[in-house]
A = this chain, B = another copy of it.
Amino acid sequence: MFSYKERFKYFLKERNLKYTPERKEIIEAIVKLQKHFDAEDIYQQLRRQESNVSLATVYRTIPLLVDSELIIETLHCRDKVLYERIYNKKHHDHLVCINCGRIIEFYNEEVEKLQDEICRKYQFLATEHRLGIKGYCKGCQDKLNIKINSAKEKK
């Protein structure tokens, strides 16, 4: 069980790529980031930790992090691509509230099994899957009902 940094170092060596200070700082930023983040979030975290890595380098490094299976692209949200760490983490899918943006993570064994079945049926070799359910979280349902009701009352 290696750390993110060790795993990234190993991945780079494997490909004859260099382990630069910039890449070291980016990995350090990644492990500090919360659940779902985009390129700009990585950049901001770098600033927080006194690093001057450029945004261009952040964008250049993301594919390396994806290829090394340290992070994965999870969602598209407001025209931005969101990533999250996956190394040493369990796979899961997402419920996304279209009102407040809240993201609920879930894992369902049966869904996973059914997906395997579907892939077998179509002789499809899956590398990744994404189940995203959009709608309203409990909080927003309540909020919006209140609005609908008061709107009706006013009528």
Residues of A within 8 A of B (CB): 76, 95, 97-98, 104, 106, 108, 110-111, 114-115, 118-119, 121-138, 141
Contact = CB atoms under 8 A, between A and B. Distances in A.
Given A115-B133, A119-B133, 20 more contacts: A95-B119, A95-B122, A98-B127, A104-B124, A106-B122, A111-B111, A111-B118, A114-B114, A122-B137, A122-B138, A123-B138, A124-B133, A124-B138, A125-B135, A125-B141, A126-B133, A127-B136, A129-B132, A130-B130, A130-B134
Nearest to A138: B123
A128 B138 contact: no
Contacts of A124: 95, 97, 104, 133, 135-138
A97 B125 CA distance: 9
A139 B140 CA distance: 45
